[in-house]
Amino acid sequence: MCSGHQSPGLWRHPEDQSWRFNDISHWVELAKLLEDAKFHGIFVADVLGGYDVYRDSLNPAKISGAQWPVNEPLSVVSAMAAATESIGFGVTVSTTYEMPYHLARRLSTIDHLSKGRYAQAEEYVKVIYKLLESSWRDDAVKRDRETGVYTAPDLVREINHKGKFFQVPGPHICQPSPQRTPLLLQAGTSRAGKQFAAQHAEAVFLSAHAPAVCAKNIAELRQIAKDEFGRNPVNIKTLALVTPILGKTEEEAQQKLADYRQYASHEGALALFGGWTGIDLSKYGDDEELRHVESNAVKSTVEGYARFSPGTSKWTKHTIAEHVSIGGNGPILVGTPSQVADGLETWVEEADIDGFNFAYALFPQSFKDIVELLLPELRRRGLFWDDYAVPGGTYRENFYRIPGQTGPLNEHVASKYRWRVGVPAEQHSIPE
């Protein structure tokens, strides 16, 4: 919820409106645009502080507007939900600043308000599962006008969570919302991140400049999910970060990219790179070949980029900056709708990707280009749906294309926490 999210500096472009992110109509218009085009969902990523590794300073991010300033994204979901019916919403939530009891309430509230079209990645999930799934029975709210019973008292219980970090007696304070546990989206392919995702994630965001990098991570993730958590690996959907630059002709697309590059901020890109990698490239000279420097961390990181761009002979900090200054750590696909669609198909085949997380260069023009140029081509190829699987349904029903699948799949860990209709409390003890 900032300007030029993955493309620092492009707020300078005369057609860009990403700097309108403080304005509520900005988000409502985007939600309507993307729902009309039948997008599955909108994800508003978040970062809880500024990018200050590069130059050991926040200044490059301040000046270039690289994810600075940045608002709290859950706040805008209800406005988008009020203006739409079917599109899903996802945001980042940080457990650093949110207590689990309170976050569970915010999640339930938004899930009610968005009628189950809200999605969430979060960490301290066990307490959250207990609050969202185990504390109320599905049918606890009776609202029986004859007997005067709003909630059946025995169908709401304390969770009495006593853990290492949290003591949460409960009960949960909101009634069961459409999805109870919102759709769980995860990002991060560290060893710990994969282990977490293999158990909890329903969708995983990946970003890499080459399909082969994604393919390796996805294969490992799905293997762990199957071996350690008994999940069907195809039920973890993988979404790759991609920034399409579309033109009616190849020349037009290339001209657009050249135009955008004029505005892209290298300082901003190096600020973002510093935050992602912990590496401050301001320590190196303008012409210094980064694959030959002393630091192993720098060498191996830069070699990772170089391996998949064999046409680039020298890797300086400016090569890195140019590489990530539009579309962040994901690929730019430039060309006609047909060329970009070919590129997407390559990713699906080579990386075992289920879908895409489209970033923008210009807001909202990049999305309009996708809607007007790319989607018709994808539909011609039978690769994009004509309508939501369950119009007006929850995010999860549309995500799995299963009417009635409002909660996690039976094989998912959260499902074990669900206190279902008709089950006596003594037959459903809350899992640890």
Name residues contacting its own copies, limited to 125-144 (CB under 8 A).
Answer: 141, 143
In the complex, the smallest distance separating the C-beta of residue 147 from its own copies, rounded to whole angstroms, is 9
φ, ψ of residue 347 to 5 degrees: the values are: -60, -45
Under 8 Å CB-to-CB from 92, ≥6 apart: which residues? 44, 45, 46, 47, 73, 121
Name the nearest CA neighbour of 372 among 14, 39, 37, 30: 37
Dist CA 394 CA 396 (whole Å): 5
Identify which of residues 99 and 421 has a Cβ nearer to its own copies in the complex.
99
Residues facing residue 335 across a β-bridge: 246
Site string for its own copies, 300-339 (x = CB under 8 A): ----------------------------------------
**According to CB under 8 A, which residues from 86 to 105 bind its own copies?**
94, 96-99, 101-102, 105
The answer to whether residues 36 and 84 touch, using CB atoms and an 8 Å cutoff, is no
Q: Nearer Cβ to its own copies, position 110 or 414?
A: 110
Element holding 413 (H helix, E strand): helix 413-417
State which of positions 2-21 bind its own copies (CB under 8 A).
3, 9, 11-12, 14, 19
Footprint (CB under 8 A) of its own copies, residues 218-237: none
Of 149, 168, 200, 197, the closest CA to residue 99 belongs to 168
46 three-class SS: coil
Q: Which position among 17, 32, 33, 78 is part of the footprint of its own copies (CB under 8 A)?
A: 78
* Cβ(166)–Cβ(129) below 8 Å: no
- 261 scored as a contact of its own copies (CB under 8 A): no
Q: How far is the CB of 388 from its own copies (least distance, A)?
A: 18
Q: Decide: is 33 part of the binding site for its own copies (CB under 8 A).
A: no
Quick one: which of 72, 4, 85, 7 has its CA closest to 39? Answer: 85
Does 50 interact with its own copies (rule: CB under 8 A)? yes
Residues that bind its own copies (CB under 8 A): 1, 3, 9, 11-12, 14, 19, 22-25, 27-28, 48-50, 57-59, 62-65, 68-72, 74-79, 81-83, 94, 96-99, 101-102, 105-106, 108-110, 112-115, 141, 143, 145, 148-153, 156, 171, 173-175, 177, 265
